[in-house]
Structure 1
Amino acid sequence: MMKWTSIALAVGALAGMAASPSWAASSSAAPEAGPAIHVEDVYRFYKIYDAAQGRPSDSQLQRDYLDPGSAGLHHLATLRNVTGASIAKNMEAHPENYADAKRCMAVLPRVRERLGVALRRLGQLYPPTTFAPATIAVGRGKPVGVTDASGVIIGLEALCAVNYLDANVEDRFVHVLVHEYAHVQQALRAPAFYDNPKPTVLEESLIEGAAEFTAELASGSVAYTDLKAMTKGHEKTIEDAFVTDEDKTDLSAWLYNGTLTKPGDLGYWVGYRIAKSYYQHAADKRQAIRDILEMTDARAFLARSRWHPGIRLQ
């Protein structure tokens, strides 16, 4: 899911899990095949952007960028009201984000290469992995991403602007994308749990934490790299507070409470530590990964994890 409301950027709803949109691949591919990773929209956008000296009109953006865009870009436009006018409006308000995003565009060839490697690793760790398509495009500044059972769409300019994630933008894109692919698996294997419209703090934190732990296994790092430094030396205090709130359905103290420049989301970190504790205490590691990604009962999972506030993990 990676709802990304954490930085005031809501991610697409996961309604209609049983039927995949037409833009998405609907079947699992062999791990060696990997996913389709589309970046062509980014290059078309910046061709238009450069030709207009950074000030393309809304009609240019609609006619030359959005209308001939990829299926993933059209899916984003439908879900999140991305139009030539909305892009032009945000570009006028935040021109620096579109200029700065060129540094992220420059790393896309390596991101595609490394993502392919990481997702093949995910397929080895979790053989049922479905390799839905990924699209990186340029939008209206938000959302950072839309992820559902059918695939992943990332807004280049939006993710590039989240300055508290990994300072190395190549690493940032790889780890975030793998986190998102974990959500694709959750949405497919446990849709009722994943798409619960009123989750508790514990449930939502485990959804996000499971994706963080999966990203670490497959790509070498979590997506929310800032949380390690934020929490160091405060583990037990934070997690004692989490236990107090874990059954609440008001998520605002733990999840989706940051901005582009201010981090939040301590629930991601606690959920990651619970998932990691489950994995480290499991005798069958392959089954543990399945349990983490196919979770349907947060309370039972927590009990089996042997996690407790302040636990020391390897």
Structure 2
Amino acid sequence: MKTSMRTLFLAAVCSMFSASLAAATKPEIRTEDVTRFYALYDATGGRPSVEQLDAYLAEGSPSLKEFAQLRRVTGERIARQIEADPAMYENARQCLDVLPAVERRLATALASLSDLYPGADYPPVAIVVGRGRPVGIVNPSGATIGLEALCAADFMNPDPEDRFVYVVAHEYVHTQQAMARDQPEPGDPRATVLRMSLVEGAAEFVSELVSGGVGNARHAEWTRGRELEIESDFLADMQGTDLGPWMFNYHPGSDEPYDLGYWVGYRIVKAYYTQADDKRAALARIIDMEDPEAFLRESGWRPGMSLP
């Protein structure tokens, strides 16, 4: 009887722990700003005025207000984008339909991250509607994703559900990273090609590790067979602060490779993780990285190396 009671007690404790862990790792995706935007959009026949859009921003969540302030989103700019590309705002509704599946898949990914990196925490993700860009911003208090911008970014990944899962997972990693909390702006002497590439490459690698894919699926096809060439060029540029050839260089409508710094940073991080015996310690080192030069030396990476 005692054994039976002990077994039942342990089962109850394990069940409570599992429920607690599931709750802790369940992502909170907030969409109230999207609901308000489309109520206004529908009420105005898809032509909200600048004044109405300014009110949408002013009455928005703290995430929307921060997004607008940091990325110069105004009622006038949203109105101008709606005028220039109305299909972007119509099509964005379709991505709302995939969010429940995205949330389920992210819960599984974050549970994996919690297992590998117990120090992880999960601030909320806010989905908002903006001026067509950027796709998102992130800080320790959470991530904010532009619904219309990410929904239109089929050049990154043609499947909208996969795109949202991998990009949001990528942004979650940024909320954990030591270097992302002290991210210099382009032009700052600290914003070297190496540093910025490792911040983004680490987020890509960890996203793939826990969710199954990277934010930009096209890097693999662009770089296949050109690894040595691309990475040798990176090695020559990595101490400089000219990010133009490597980061944030997508041009709408272009099919040219872009953001190759993300890919090289991913490869450096993967080289480090692959050769590490203690994978949990390696992941903690990746997320807590503060010295890009030291990490590069420890990684064992070299241009053109073969990786699994």
2:265 alignment partner in structure 1: 271
Rounded to whole Å, the distance in 1 between the matches of 2:151 and 2:174 is 21
TM-score (ref. length: structure 2): 0.86
8 A contact 2:151–2:160 mirrored in 1: yes
1:21-32 equivalence runs, <5 A: 32=23
Check 1:192–1:91 CA distance in 2 against 1; reply closer, same or farther (3 A cut). closer
Q: Which runs of 5+ in 2 are unaligned?
A: 1-19
1:114 alignment partner in structure 2: 105
Rounded to whole Å, the distance in 1 between the matches of 2:22 and 2:245 is 38
Q: Which amino acid aligns with 1:87?
A: I
2:16 alignment partner in structure 1: none
Pick from 131, 142, 147: which aligns with 1:151?
A: 142
8 A contact 1:76–1:146 mirrored in 2: yes
Pick from 43, 55, 61: which aligns with 2:53?
A: 61
Does residue 80 in structure 1 map to residue 65 in structure 2? Answer: no
Rounded to whole Å, the distance in 2 between the matches of 1:160 and 1:190 is 28
Pick from 153, 158, 164: which aligns with 2:155?
A: 164
Check 1:265–1:97 CA distance in 2 against 1; reply closer, same or farther (3 A cut). same
8 A contact 1:193–1:296 mirrored in 2: no
Post-superposition, which runs of at least 4 consecutive aligned residues in structure 1 deviate over 6 A? Answer: none
8 A contact 1:42–1:137 mirrored in 2: yes
2:252 alignment partner in structure 1: 260
Does residue 215 in structure 1 map to residue 207 in structure 2? Answer: yes
Q: Which runs of 5+ in 1 are unaligned?
A: 1-28
8 A contact 1:31–1:123 mirrored in 2: no
1:282 alignment partner in structure 2: 276
Higher Rg of the two aligned structures: 2
8 A contact 2:180–2:199 mirrored in 1: no
Rounded to whole Å, the distance in 2 between the matches of 1:166 and 1:174 is 11
8 A contact 1:39–1:108 mirrored in 2: no
8 A contact 2:140–2:181 mirrored in 1: no
Rounded to whole Å, the distance in 2 between the matches of 1:66 and 1:101 is 18
Greater mean deviation of Cα atoms: 201-210 or 253-262: 253-262
Rounded to whole Å, the distance in 2 between the matches of 1:159 and 1:217 is 22
Q: Which amino acid aligns with 1:80?
A: R
How much does 1:193 deviate? Answer: 5.7
Coordinate RMSD, CA, aligned = 2.0
How much does 1:31 deviate? Answer: 6.5
How much does 1:76 deviate? Answer: 1.4
1:5 alignment partner in structure 2: none
Does residue 45 in structure 1 map to residue 37 in structure 2? Answer: yes
Deviations 1:35-59 (A, max 9, x none): 4210122222222222322112223
8 A contact 1:201–1:246 mirrored in 2: yes
How much does 1:146 deviate? Answer: 1.2
Q: Which amino acid aligns with 1:82?
A: V
How much does 1:81 deviate? Answer: 3.2
TM-score (ref. length: structure 1): 0.84
Identity of aligned residues (%): 49
Check 1:195–1:37 CA distance in 2 against 1; reply closer, same or farther (3 A cut). same
Rounded to whole Å, the distance in 1 between the matches of 2:22 and 2:240 is 39
Does residue 306 in structure 1 map to residue 300 in structure 2? Answer: yes
How much does 1:114 deviate? Answer: 1.9
Aligned length: 283
1:115-264 equivalence runs, <5 A: 115-186=106-177, 189-190=178-179, 194-195=183-184, 197-198=188-189, 199-262=191-254, 263-264=257-258
